[in-house]
Amino acid sequence: MSSKNIIIANWKSNPNSEEKATKLFRSVKSLSKTLKNSTVIICPPVVFLKALASIGILTKCKLGIQDISAYDGGAHTGEISVSMVKAFGVSHVIVGHSERRASGETNIVINEKIKTILEAGLIPVLCIGEREREHGMWYLHEVKKQLEENLRGINKNKIKKIIFAYEPVWAIGARATRVATPEESLEMSIYIRKVLSDLYDTNIAKTVSIIYGGSVDERNASSFIEHGGVHGFLVGRASLDPKQFITIAQA
């Protein structure tokens, strides 16, 4: 496991102009210089990549994107390929976000996307997480199935490169029913390592990076780092406020 914390900003479909996007990026970039042991990765809408890349990428402040085509080019209307985004210095790609799963993205497609991302030498940020916790231990099976199907056919040397983002769907966004507890995050981080140990080996299970996402803010961030078994975050709403985002990164 990397000793560095990884804080990923998922801007989703925000902001609504290039001017606002560059302003936000400049603020985060400047504040990120104060970070000691964390790397921040900003994932804007792809239309802003060129403008943000021209402002410059730092070792502590990198660029990522929120989704990618499973194909590197070809007849795929509306898709953005890995080669296109690599040209702007993108290093990380979010894949399998629950908002994309909810609009029909299957585990098979996510598996293809992860292979394409790894093939291009980029780092996948694989989002996994249950839709609800109502029915006994079913939520563990749901996450296990995601891991098994999303990672199928990927060898263990490549698995080490993936960042696993545990994002319980019920804790994400403005419609979150509640915030997860650090204990729930810890339980799932142990479970993810157990599944990876069964699928690969204990070394892989121990070394992979696991981060948490879902209603992270400046008040709850440090308790997840201290007790949640994770060493970073995938942040949605709070990433649109540079000061709050950097406070989370300092947690």
> Which residue numbers are catalytic?
97, 167
CB of 9 to ligand PGA, least distance (A): 9
234 touches ligand PGA (CB under 6 A) = yes
Q: Which is nearer to ligand PGA, 45 or 204 (CB)?
A: 45
Name which position in 96, 182, 214, 228 contacts ligand PGA (CB under 6 A): 214
235 touches ligand PGA (CB under 6 A) = yes
Count of residues in contact with ligand PGA, rule CB under 6 A: 13
CB of 175 to ligand PGA, least distance (A): 9
95 touches ligand PGA (CB under 6 A) = no
Q: What SS3 string covers the chain?
A: CCCCEEEEEECCCCCCCHHHHHHHHHHHHHHHCCCCCEEEEEECCHHHHHHHHHHCCECCEEEEECCCCCCCCCCCCCCCCHHHHHCCCEEEEEECCHHHHHCCCCHHHHHHHHHHHHHCCCEEEEEECCCCCCCCCHHHHHHHHHHHHHCCCCCHHHHCCCEEEECCHHHCCCCCCCCCCHHHHHHHHHHHHHHHHHHCCHHHHHHCEEEEECCCCCCCHHHHHHHCCCCEEEECHHHHCHHHHHHHHCC
220 touches ligand PGA (CB under 6 A) = no
130 touches ligand PGA (CB under 6 A) = no
Binding site for ligand PGA (CB under 6 A): 10, 167, 172-173, 213-216, 234-238
